[in-house]
Amino acid sequence: MNSKLIHFSGICGTGMASLAVLLKKRGHQVRGSDENVYPPMSDLLAQNNITVQNGYAEKNLNTVPDLVVIGNALSRGNPEVETVLKRKLHYISMAELLKEYFIRGKTSLVVTGTHGKTTTSSLLAWVFECAKKTPGFMIGGIAENFGTSCQDRPGKFFITEGDEYDTAFFDKRSKYFHYLPDQLILNNLEFDHADIFDSLEDIKNSFRMMLRLIPENGLIVANGDDVNVQNVLESAYTPVVKFGFGEACDVRALNVETGESGTKFEVLNKGQKYSAQTQKFALRLSGAFNVLNALGVIILARHNGISDKTTQAAFDSFKSVRRRQELRGEANGIAVYDDFAHHPTAIRETISAIKQKHKGRRLIAVFEPRSNTSVRNIHQNSLIDSFKEADEVILTSLHRLEKIPAEQRLQIKEVLKSLINKKISAYEFPEVEKIIEHLKTNCRSGDVVLIMSNGKFGNIHQRLLETL
């Protein structure tokens, strides 16, 4: 491939920066711009000699690039977007770039669903790596085994986390439409992303259209226990293997046991009788939802000729993903966890998993409602229910509400009132400093603090550990 001059508008996003580095390593001339130039992405780009302009400006495109990659956060009115359109420069989205430069020509494995995509795609990539398949991958988090979210590898497989969020201001389709899926895992399906989807049915229609793009010689591995998933599978033209806990599933998990070291379970194929020879697996992750994540990986591994022995060896050495049940540290007998959970289902399952891992210990759940869905009241009742296993709940006050009508906003006071009525201690604090002050005063040795947010949350984890 001839060397090109490629400009990334919005280069400091995790995915954009990672792809910029990969293209630089392929021999392309790469540069970019962003209005939020800060570590760790700015350091990564500097280490790879990629020039980054601080701020967006027409002059950044005076040396005309062969291609402009426009980040998802950019919209009309951005100086570089307007320059690209005015000068009719060649531009694409990050998802299109991934398709054309990394996925096309490979066997594409895509992991989709409302929850568990990052963990599942990371686990899948590690299993294929341990099987010496040398897969390329693009994941929405830092895979600890690789130390990165994206790799360009020589193997025939490319593994992608298939996000249902829209692609760019000029392409409102979900990103997964661009990933040319040959084999796909569909973990689960719920209403999310209230800023771009009007309803659950709207999301289902997006998945239905995407499933029609999978070739007939491909494979769909889907959650057989999820009613919404079953509903969208009706549009599939591709063989389907269903996994789950229920008897109707083609591949089932049985005898699940979770403890401090992780989770043990057995796998039974449909038509196979349970016996002492039933395949046993162990996972260093906690929670029933991670068993489901693992089932999808086991099925795709088997489909591609990877033995259960190799898969289990990969499970044994899997280090998970940053910000997914990540133990950030312990201070004076108090464990502090970080998790990306921000949807009620993810919150509930994460609390349950940590509670199972640390049986008998008091669990304090700290949640920052920050995503476009979590600051709305559409899931308010589910949010209240999601905290049922916590001993204490701390919520932050809502911020950046100017774009959300008052009648659609999450009512924090109502959530707290309902939790208190359920005999769960519950508090609201307007800022991180107040939360840390409260925890410093009230935490005791043996407590587990689980902090959940899809943002940086003011570096609360490290600051809390330094204070306790």
Residue 228's pLDDT band, with cuts at 50, 70 and 90, is very high
Q: Has residue 95 got a pLDDT over 70?
A: yes
Among 288, 317, 346, identify where a domain stops. 317
Statement to judge: residues 271 and 412 lie in one domain: no
Its sign, for the CA torsion 340, 343, 346, 352, is positive
Q: What is the pLDDT of residues 61-75, one digit of tens each?
A: 999 999 999 999 999
According to the model, what pLDDT value does residue 199 have? Answer: 87
Q: Has residue 194 got a pLDDT over 70?
A: no
According to the model, what pLDDT value does residue 230 have? Answer: 94
Mean pLDDT of the 320-334 span = 82
Q: Has residue 55 got a pLDDT over 70?
A: yes
Domain extent, residue 183, equals: 97-317
Statement to judge: residues 443 and 333 lie in one domain: yes
Statement to judge: residues 335 and 188 lie in one domain: no
Among 63, 89, 115, identify where a domain stops. 89
Calpha distance 44→10 (Å, rounded): 15
According to the model, what pLDDT value does residue 96 have? Answer: 97
Statement to judge: residues 310 and 343 lie in one domain: no
According to the model, what pLDDT value does residue 93 have? Answer: 97
Q: Has residue 380 got a pLDDT over 80?
A: yes
Mean pLDDT of the 260-279 span = 83
Q: Has residue 350 got a pLDDT over 90?
A: no
Q: Has residue 259 got a pLDDT over 80?
A: no
| CATH number, domain with residue 10 | 3.40.50.720
According to the model, what pLDDT value does residue 468 have? Answer: 82
| CATH number, domain with residue 372 | 3.90.190.20
More confident residue, 38 or 334: 334
Residue 13's pLDDT band, with cuts at 50, 70 and 90, is confident
Q: What is the pLDDT of residues 143-189, one digit of tens each?
A: 888 888 889 998 999 999 998 889 999 999 989 999 999 999 999 89
Statement to judge: residues 253 and 218 lie in one domain: yes
Contact 431, 464 (CB under 8 A): no
| CATH number, domain with residue 278 | 3.40.1190.10
Statement to judge: residues 244 and 292 lie in one domain: yes
According to the model, what pLDDT value does residue 1 have? Answer: 58
Statement to judge: residues 267 and 185 lie in one domain: yes
Statement to judge: residues 274 and 339 lie in one domain: no
Mean pLDDT of the 247-266 span = 90
Statement to judge: residues 119 and 163 lie in one domain: yes
CA angle 166, 113, 173 (to 5 degrees): 20
What b-and-e string marks burial along 419-455, b requiring 16 or more CB atoms within 10 Å of the CB?
A: beeeebebbbbeebeebbebbeeebeeebbbbbbbbe
Whole-number Cα distances in Å, 198 to 73, 170, 193, 260 = 20, 19, 9, 40
Statement to judge: residues 344 and 449 lie in one domain: yes
According to the model, what pLDDT value does residue 69 have? Answer: 98
Mean pLDDT of the 304-320 span = 94
According to the per-residue pLDDT averaged within each range, which of 13-17, 122-126, 427-431 is highest?
122-126
Residue 141's pLDDT band, with cuts at 50, 70 and 90, is confident
Of 28-32, 37-41, 132-136, where does mean pLDDT reach its minimum? Answer: 37-41
Percent of the chain with pLDDT over 70: 99
Global pTM reads: 0.81
Calpha distance 369→205 (Å, rounded): 27
According to the model, what pLDDT value does residue 402 have? Answer: 78
Average pLDDT, whole number, for the chain?
90
According to the model, what pLDDT value does residue 276 have? Answer: 67
CA-based nearest residue to 430, from 456, 465, 394: 394
Statement to judge: residues 10 and 47 lie in one domain: yes
Calpha distance 78→13 (Å, rounded): 16
According to the model, what pLDDT value does residue 372 have? Answer: 76
Q: Has residue 290 got a pLDDT over 70?
A: yes
Among 89, 107, 127, identify where a domain stops. 89
Calpha distance 201→179 (Å, rounded): 22
Statement to judge: residues 232 and 332 lie in one domain: no
Phi (first) and psi of residue 233, to 5 degrees: -65, -15
Residue 140's pLDDT band, with cuts at 50, 70 and 90, is confident
Query: How many domains in the chain?
Result: 3
Percent of the chain with pLDDT over 90: 59
Mean pLDDT of the 414-428 span = 90
